[in-house]
Chain A
Amino acid sequence: MAKGLFGSSLMKKFWMALTGIFLITFLVVHCLINAMIFFDDGGMTFNKWAHFMGTNLIIRTMEIVLFLGLILHIVDGLMLYFQNRRARPVKYAYEKASASSTWYSRSMALLGTLILLFLILHLYHFWLKTRITGLTVEPSHIFFDGHRYEDLFSEMKFVFKHLWVVIVYVLGCISLFWHLLHGFRSAFQSLGFNYTKYKSTIAFMGDAFSVIIPSIFAAMPVALYTGWIQ
């Protein structure tokens, strides 16, 4: 059965699409919660939500599923990448690839690697500190309404004090934009949704999603660095 689930080229493609769509839904949740910082209330709303995400049992279970999904997406992607390289051992002396496809659709492995590099730094900045080592900022907790909350908002301000970090985050978002621009519609094609009647809707949704979500993400470090949000 394991061979049946991963063995064929088409099965690898389905897993790529399924994990991709799963990661897309994660991006929506992550983006909505982080966008709470734009209430500009000193991080009050954001910290409450971050507390919920860090303590709710269902969310914490989903966090494990998320990591598994991410790993599957990466491993599957690497397998596809190396198999595809073997499928054309001798390269063309002259290849005009731009005549028939976009550069980003041909560069999903590269874009994925860039996103992964960003992700390692990102996990170090926030996941590691909230889940394992504790926050760097002092005091690491604040109180309101008689509850004790981790001050993740102040941690964000602390992390985004450095210009190079802001630049790396923005570059990560740009890589994500290109990756999604192909990945979103590609996932639906892989799952077989390419009836003429859905095609333009999916393409439009994919383009809009690829622009909106990474832009909101990129605005966060920029807003905190420039002091737009206090």
Chain B
Amino acid sequence: MEKGMNLKLKIWRQKNTNEQGKIVEYPVSNVSPDMSFLEMIDVLNDSLVAKGEEPVAFDHDCREGICGMCSMFINGEAHGPNRGVTTCQLHMRSFKEGETIYIEPWRSEAFPVIKDLMVDRGAFDRIQQAGGFVSVNTSGRTLDANAIPIPKEDADKAFDAATCIGCGACAATCPNGSAMLFVAAKVSQFALLPQGQVERKERVLNMVKQMDEEGFGNCSNIGACEVQCPKNISIEVIARMNREYLMANVKPEN
């Protein structure tokens, strides 16, 4: 194999939530085009550790696009320049030799930076806890979910919404800092299924309330979220949430 790529990284370094951070420049060399973006940072971190410097802190877990942890704003875009992928699924062949790459954490009032590129996405957990669930009685004779007939189209739409991995790219990308795509995906997923009907109205009311309390911005239908979402979730879910919310306000009881 020929020699690896040389890159100039401009990475956000911040000690902790309270301290001021700044962009620090790091050159990296010998990067294979077949590496994933996270492996490239691993290479950088190895060299930092060898020099006795503090490695760059970043979140990751599955490294296969399903956990939603690898939140990074790469060259001005959430999860980097490719569409429908997370940072861990982004490969260095998407960059040019000698390129300067900016790497920043999600910027949102509701996602405080913990350290370097790691942010606290607890706001999403609290929104989920406010209503992103169905209460199913698990004791005694439970009904097999497969025994409930569901129209194919609804099942597909619910599944599309359910592919949201809660990564936060939508809120990080939105020029208004709005988390509508995430919340709407969670609301839609249940609104379309029979199991979600019992809590349908209070779910949307409570989740929107929590979303507002967390300090996210207001949606103005710019549509950047659906472009940057690694799961290609469409803003159609937002329209559905708007309808759900309107109906729930007109007639709050189920």
Taking Cβ atoms with an 8 Å cutoff, the residues of A that contact B are 4, 7-14, 16, 80, 83-84, 86-97, 99-102, 105-106, 108, 182, 185-186, 189-196
Please give, as numbers and ranges, the residues of chain A lying within 8 Å of B12 by CB-CB distance. Answer: 93
Please give, as numbers and ranges, the residues of chain A lying within 8 Å of B238 by CB-CB distance. Answer: 189, 194
Q: B209 and A8: CB pair below 8 A?
A: yes
Q: B77 and A9: CB pair below 8 A?
A: no
Q: B245 and A94: CB pair below 8 A?
A: no
Tell me the complex Cα distance, A88–B73, Å.
Answer: 14
Please give, as numbers and ranges, the residues of chain A lying within 8 Å of B240 by CB-CB distance. Answer: 192, 194
A-B contact pairs, 16 of them (CB 8 A): A9-B216, A83-B217, A86-B109, A87-B109, A88-B107, A88-B108, A91-B107, A92-B76, A96-B76, A99-B77, A100-B224, A100-B228, A101-B222, A101-B223, A189-B239, A192-B246
B44 at the interface (CB under 8 A from A): no
Q: Flag B226-247 by CB within 8 Å of A: 1 or 0 each.
A: 0110000001101111110110
Tell me the complex Cα distance, A12–B241, Å.
Answer: 14
Name the CB-closest residue of B to A14: B246
Q: B239 and A192: CB pair below 8 A?
A: yes
The total number of A-B Cβ pairs within 8 Å is 130
Please give, as numbers and ranges, the residues of chain A lying within 8 Å of B243 by CB-CB distance. Answer: 192
Q: B218 and A9: CB pair below 8 A?
A: yes
Task: Determine, out of B127-135, B174-182, B195-203, the stretch whose residues face the partner at the interface.
Answer: B174-182
Tell me the complex Cα distance, A96–B222, Å.
Answer: 14
Name the CB-closest residue of A to B229: A100
Tell me the complex Cα distance, A182–B76, Å.
Answer: 23
Q: Is the interface of B mostly helix, strand, loop or mixed?
A: mixed
Please give, as numbers and ranges, the residues of chain B lying within 8 Å of A191 by CB-CB distance. Answer: 242, 246
Please give, as numbers and ranges, the residues of chain B lying within 8 Å of A91 by CB-CB distance. Answer: 107
Please give, as numbers and ranges, the residues of chain B lying within 8 Å of A102 by CB-CB distance. Answer: 222
Known: A9-B178, A10-B242. A87 touches B108 (CB 8 A): yes
Name the CB-closest residue of B to A106: B175
Interface-centre pick from A7, A88, A92, A195 (highest chain B CB count, 10 A): A88
Tell me the complex Cα distance, A6–B241, Å.
Answer: 17
In chain B, positions 142-183 with a C-beta closer than 8 Å to chain A are 173, 175-178
User: Contacting A100 at CB < 8 Å: which of B104, B220, B227?
Assistant: B227
Tell me the complex Cα distance, A8–B204, Å.
Answer: 12
Q: B104 and A93: CB pair below 8 A?
A: yes
Shortest Cβ distance from residue B105 to the other chain A in the assembled complex, whole angstroms: 9
Q: A92 and B73: CB pair below 8 A?
A: yes
Shortest Cβ distance from residue B78 to the other chain A in the assembled complex, whole angstroms: 9
Please give, as numbers and ranges, the residues of chain A lying within 8 Å of B190 by CB-CB distance. Answer: none
Q: A186 and B221: CB pair below 8 A?
A: yes
Tell me the complex Cα distance, A194–B108, Å.
Answer: 27
Name the CB-closest residue of A to B14: A90
Tell me the complex Cα distance, A169–B132, Å.
Answer: 50
Interface-centre pick from A4, A80, A93 (highest chain B CB count, 10 A): A93
Tell me the complex Cα distance, A91–B109, Å.
Answer: 11
Q: B211 and A9: CB pair below 8 A?
A: yes
Q: A97 and B224: CB pair below 8 A?
A: yes
Q: A83 and B218: CB pair below 8 A?
A: yes
Tell me the complex Cα distance, A92–B245, Å.
Answer: 32
Please give, as numbers and ranges, the residues of chain B lying within 8 Å of A11 by CB-CB distance. Answer: 249
Tell me the complex Cα distance, A182–B227, Å.
Answer: 17
Shortest Cβ distance from residue B232 to the other chain A in the assembled complex, whole angstroms: 13
Known: A88-B217, A189-B238. A93 touches B10 (CB 8 A): yes
Interface-centre pick from B76, B221, B227 (highest chain A CB count, 10 A): B221
Q: Flag B22-46 by CB within 8 Å of A: 1 or 0 each.
A: 0100000000000000000000000
Known: A97-B224, A189-B235. A86 touches B215 (CB 8 A): yes
Tell me the complex Cα distance, A100–B235, Å.
Answer: 13
In chain B, positions 71-93 with a C-beta closer than 8 Å to chain A are 73, 75-77, 81
Please give, as numbers and ranges, the residues of chain A lying within 8 Å of B246 by CB-CB distance. Answer: 14, 191-192
Known: A93-B12, A106-B222. A84 touches B178 (CB 8 A): yes
Tell me the complex Cα distance, A19–B246, Å.
Answer: 16
